[in-house]
Every structure is written in C-alpha cells, then in structure tokens.
Chains A and B, each alone.
Chain A
Amino acid sequence: MKVIMNTGRTIPQGESVERKHSPEYESAASVCFIHPVDMMVLGIEDGAHIRLSGPDSRVVLTARASEMVEQGSVFVPLGSYSNHVVSGETHCTGMPDFKSTMVEIIPTEDPVLSVAELMESLGGVRYAH
C-alpha cells in the first residue's frame, strides 16, 4: 500500500542516539508505526516485518500498531533506517522531505538489518565496537 512517511524524534530513539551500535538503538530506530486499520489491510500483526520502498531504495522495518498515526500515513523514528528511503531532493532549500516521503509498504519475511549492515550496503566498512 502507498502511504506518506513521517519521521521524527521518539524517546527510545533519543535515549540511544549516542549509541548507534547498540541493540537498543536498532530496535528503537527500525520500527514503523502504522494505524491498526492499515495493518489489517496489510494483513500483518504487531511485530511483523514490512518492506518500505522509496523512489530508489528500500528498507526492512518492524511494524508497530499505533492510533497516533492517521490511516494512509506511517511514522518512523528519524535516523539510519528512515533515511534509507528519504530522497536527497531538497527543492533548493537544503532540507530533504523528511516528513513527507511517499513510500510503498509490503509485508516481508526478510530480517531487519543492523546499522552496520545498512552502512556496508552503501559502501562502508563495518566497525565492530
């Protein structure tokens, strides 16, 4: 289904933002809050994995039901995971559309990658702390 992705700070993401190699950060940043009705339409349960696809990229996240997001939109904490699908276009304002990216969601069995794996996929070299 096509939805608008909104991103922003959440408490768990903020608590662990200075420890991005930690499991806390990975679980805090790799969730996608979806309205229960939309989850029903997708036929997935809380905790299921979904693939979020942007214009030229995709990332696997853990779905979480939340009535705080509207139907037709999802909320993903700001950070490594959400930015994997945000486009670099800034409309010459310097600022990407972090809070209004059109994305496609489909259920998936694929695993959620670690931050290190995400960075490797972009040409980095994993540093094991």
Chain B
Amino acid sequence: MRVILEAKARKKPFLPIEAESIIPRNFLKGTDITVYEGNKERRLEDLFWILVEGTAVTPEKIEVVLKGDTSRVKRIGEYMDAGKITIAGDVGMHCGNFMSGGDIEILGNADAWLGREMRGGYILCHGNAAHYCASGYRGEKTGMRGGSIEVLGNAGDYCAEYLTGGEVHIHGSCGDMAGVEMKGGQFIIEGDATRPCGNMKDGTCMIFGTVHQMLPTFERTGIKELPDRKVTMTVYKGDIANRGKGVMMVKETVRSDE
C-alpha cells in the first residue's frame, strides 16, 4: 500500500507542523489522523492532499510518500517500527527519532536531529543533514543505540553525539565536534571533520578526509592498513582527558597549533 501525502500551501508557511503520527503503522486504520500546526490540532487532510493506493494488513507493506514543501514538518517517522517513508524533498527536524525499524529515505536535505536516539532501522539522506544528526537528547547519557544512518551529503555540528550503538556513515564532511561524547557504535566520515571525538569514551570513528584542529588528548597507538580501501590510517586512542578507550582512525591530520 502507498500513502501519498502532498503538502498544501499554508497561510503561515514557516510555522512548524509536528507530525509524529506520520508512520506507516498508523495508516492501517485509515488516514483519519491528526497533526499539530503550532498549538492547533489539524486533521491530516487540512494540511496534505492524501492519495492512498492499494491496501495492506501489516505496516511492513506500507510506504508513506511525502511531497511538496515538507521542510517545516517535524518528527516524521518518530517511533516508526516498520514499513517505509519516502520524502521527495527536504524534511523538518527530528525525522526518525526513536525509530526502531523500517526505512526512511530523504531525497532532499534533513533538518536537525535526524534519527535522534534511534534504536533500529535504516535512514538514507541523499542531501545534507543539519546539526545533531544521529545524536542524543539533552541530559540523556545514551544516544543512538542501533540501526544505521547514511548521509550522502554533509552533516552539521555535533554529528553522532553520544553515539552508543549502530552505524553512522557520512559520505561528505562533518562540521564541528563530530562524535563528541561517543560511547560505542561505528562512525565513518568520508570527508573532513573538525575537533572530532572530543571526550570520547568508547566506539570507533574513521575519518578518511582531513581532521582540522585535532584535539591534544588523543594518544597515537600505531597505524592500520585498510586493504579494501587501499589506505593507511593513523590510529589514536582516546579521549585521554576522559579516561576513554575509544578508537579514532585518521587518514591525515592537522593540529590546530601546527
């Protein structure tokens, strides 16, 4: 079954829409669900043109497709556990928060907190992801626990903050402090990163681009050949400041003071 939601034009296009109800499972019971525009509860059909193709008896068999301007629609796919969501354009904040299963594919850019505290499933973002991609929540010690997030473009600052499990793969570059507070999981950055892995406790981070402002509290422990990629990585242990035993592998580094 396919549920196609096309965003309608709005009087106040910048007001956020909160749409955690947009997950495949909820469409088993039809399309009579509500979302919030600011502090007003709205029926889905007030904000989207709705087209349903076919039927399904399990969420696994449901694909929700979002079209039109969805850049201000927040929390799509929150607590999603099965099925697929495809976003044709950009998506608002908190897409796929707490997601435990299923797929989300974003053809445009994702706003901040993409896949925050994710537990399982797969998110693919073709464009860029904003700050706090694959991160944790304020005050919470455990961030993303499982599943995987792949971003074909760049990610903003604090990417994979508190990463605890699962895999984060950024094909472009990360902003400031990628992998800060990492506790586990695997984090791959194909491009550059600035001050990565500060305060890291555990887990593995591989950076194939250039590291800017390498932090002074990582201990060089040797080198590692990656035959499949035909590269040699410098291996660091850290963050020593935090009694960390995480592993950071870097292709090439530039210290802030060099």
A residues with CB within 8 A of B = 91-92
Name the A residues within 8 Å of B175 (CB-CB). 91
Any A CB within 8 A of the CB of B208? no
Sorted from nearest, which 9 A-B pairs have the closest CB atoms? A92-B131, A91-B157, A92-B112, A92-B132, A91-B131, A91-B176, A92-B157, A91-B156, A92-B130
A92 to B130: give the CA distance in the assembly, Å: 9
Q: What are the interface flags for B145-170 relative to A under an 8 Å C-beta threshold, 1 for contact and 0 otherwise?
A: 00000000000111000000000000
Q: Determine how close the nearest CB of chain B comes to the CB of A92; give it in whole angstroms.
A: 4
Q: Can you list 10 A-B pairs with a CB-CB distance of less than 8 A?
A: A91-B131, A91-B156, A91-B158, A91-B175, A91-B176, A92-B113, A92-B130, A92-B131, A92-B156, A92-B158
A86 to B176: give the CA distance in the assembly, Å: 19
Name the B residues within 8 Å of A91 (CB-CB). 131, 156-158, 175-176
A92 to B132: give the CA distance in the assembly, Å: 8
A91 to B156: give the CA distance in the assembly, Å: 8
The chain A residue sitting closest to B93, CB to CB, is A92
Q: Determine how close the nearest CB of chain B comes to the CB of A101; give it in whole angstroms.
A: 15
A92 to B175: give the CA distance in the assembly, Å: 12
Name the B residues within 8 Å of A92 (CB-CB). 112-113, 130-132, 156-158
Name the A residues within 8 Å of B130 (CB-CB). 92
The chain B residue sitting closest to A91, CB to CB, is B157
A91 to B174: give the CA distance in the assembly, Å: 13
* Interface set, chain B 148-205, CB cutoff 8 A to A: 156-158, 175-176
A34 to B167: give the CA distance in the assembly, Å: 48
Given contacts A91-B157, A91-B176, A92-B130, 7 further A-B contacts (CB under 8 A): A91-B131, A91-B158, A91-B175, A92-B113, A92-B132, A92-B157, A92-B158
